[in-house]
Amino acid sequence: MANSLRIQNLFSVEGRVAVITGGGTGGLGAQMAEGLVANGAKVYLVGRKQSTLQEQVAKLDKISPGKAKYFAMDITIQEEIDKFVKFVEQSEDAIDLLVNNAGLAIWGPPASYLDPLDKLQAGLKASPVDHWKALIATNSWAPYIFTVSFLHLLARAAQKGDGRGSVVFITTIGTQSWNPHTNFAGYISTRTGAEHIARILAAKLLPHKIRVNILAPGIFPSNATSPNDPQGIANPSVASTLAPFKRAGTQEDLVGTIIYLASAASGYVTGARLDVDGGLVLISNGTNKFLP
Ligand SMILES: NC(=O)c1ccc[n+]([C@@H]2O[C@H](COP(=O)([O-])OP(=O)(O)OC[C@H]3O[C@@H](n4cnc5c(N)ncnc54)[C@H](OP(=O)(O)O)[C@@H]3O)[C@@H](O)[C@H]2O)c1
């Protein structure tokens, strides 16, 4: 009989089926998908842009042929989510891992607490309700309704045990930050809302053994945070001044965490939040520099 304590069993994702929203643009979703496929999982990627999804699936096919599928859709439209559930049901009777990774970030113009009041007020006021509606729909409602729409498939996976039936909400360490130089109240509060939703669902789903946890990234290179942008937070020289470990997160940092959350290793963990940020959140409430 296989020794359940050996890493290849305890952390195995071999044969598991994962759904990852926002997995097509080379960012965190795509990076997690690569790690899961490299370790024998099958992934379904979701996003709005068919071309980038196709490119990412082609990349995954090179890692392990036939292990990735995509579905182009908008996660803020219920009918499209329903169609996607039907698409998955054609091939799967259970979903072992759902990663609610897609997100929308809208920053306001600079508005530091050190600015004169008129400049501060103008910066903070540049926050139209349409932005807030889009942020709430993408960052709070979509991960909620996506999870709820997959409950039957997650529950079937959870019944099999060994950590299956795992839901991960990707948020941000910004939910624990109120750095007074920054101006992204809509982004941060809708992510904070998502964290509360994750805990509500974790509690509600206990009888079904569906686990719901939060992975809060710090600074990671992605489509949204290009390392080639000289001012961007993931640019190596910027990250080295902002982050306590003097670097942005790596794909290994991210993949190690998602494999833990997808596998038997985390089978007794639900309602938890893992900050994957090299300690950035521990210093992000200082007043002396811009931090997420
Ligand atoms: N990178 C970081 O440093 C960092 C830090 C903290 C938190 N995060 C979080 O990590 C997650 C991934 O972000 P990222 O940095 O990897 O940026 P990204 O590459 O821009 O990923 C965002 C993804 O969300 C998808 N998406 C957005 N709205 C959607 C919608 N309505 N329907 C379907 N898909 C949608 C986008 O795909 P389409 O455009 O094709 O729809 C894209 O693939 C986000 O939730 C972000 O808030 C990132």
From the list 25, 50, 75, the residue with the least C-alpha distance to 221 is 25
The span from the CA of 87 to the CA of 101, in Å, is 19
Render pLDDT for 81-94 as a digit per residue (tens, 0 to 9): 999 999 999 999 99
Q: Which residues are paired to 255 by β-bridges?
A: none
In terms of Cβ atoms closer than 10 Å to its own Cβ (0-12, 13-18, 19+), residue 97 is: buried
Grade residue 290 by pLDDT with cuts at 50, 70 and 90.
low
Amino acid at 288: N
Grade residue 291 by pLDDT with cuts at 50, 70 and 90.
low
From the list 175, 184, 44, the residue with the least C-alpha distance to 110 is 184
The span from the CA of 47 to the CA of 55, in Å, is 12
- Per the listing, tokens 């910027």 go with 238
- Percent of the chain predicted with pLDDT > 70: 98
Render pLDDT for 165-184 as a digit per residue (tens, 0 to 9): 999 999 999 999 888 888 89
* CA 102 to ligand 1 center in whole angstroms: 4
pLDDT at 159 over 60: yes
- Ligand 1 pocket, residue 255 CB under 6 Å: no
Mutate which of 79, 80, 222 for ligand 1? The one with the most ligand atoms within 8 Å of its CB, which is: 222
- DSSP 3-state of 59: helix
* CA 7 to ligand 1 center in whole angstroms: 31
Grade residue 31 by pLDDT with cuts at 50, 70 and 90.
very high
Q: Which residues are paired to 100 by β-bridges?
A: 169
Res 288: pLDDT: 63
Grade residue 128 by pLDDT with cuts at 50, 70 and 90.
very high
Res 209: pLDDT: 98
Q: What is the pTM of this model?
A: 0.97
Residue-averaged pLDDT of the chain: 95
Res 226: pLDDT: 87
From the list 70, 64, 66, the residue with the least C-alpha distance to 20 is 70
Q: Which residues are paired to 69 by β-bridges?
A: 44
* CA 116 to ligand 1 center in whole angstroms: 34
| Domains detected in the chain | 12-286 (3.40.50.720)
Res 289: pLDDT: 63
Res 292: pLDDT: 56
- Closest approach atom of ligand 1 to CA 26: 19
Mutate which of 31, 34, 46, 48 for ligand 1? The one with the most ligand atoms within 8 Å of its CB, which is: 48
pLDDT at 146 over 90: yes
Render pLDDT for 240-257 as a digit per residue (tens, 0 to 9): 988 999 999 999 999 999
- Ligand 1 pocket, residue 225 CB under 6 Å: yes
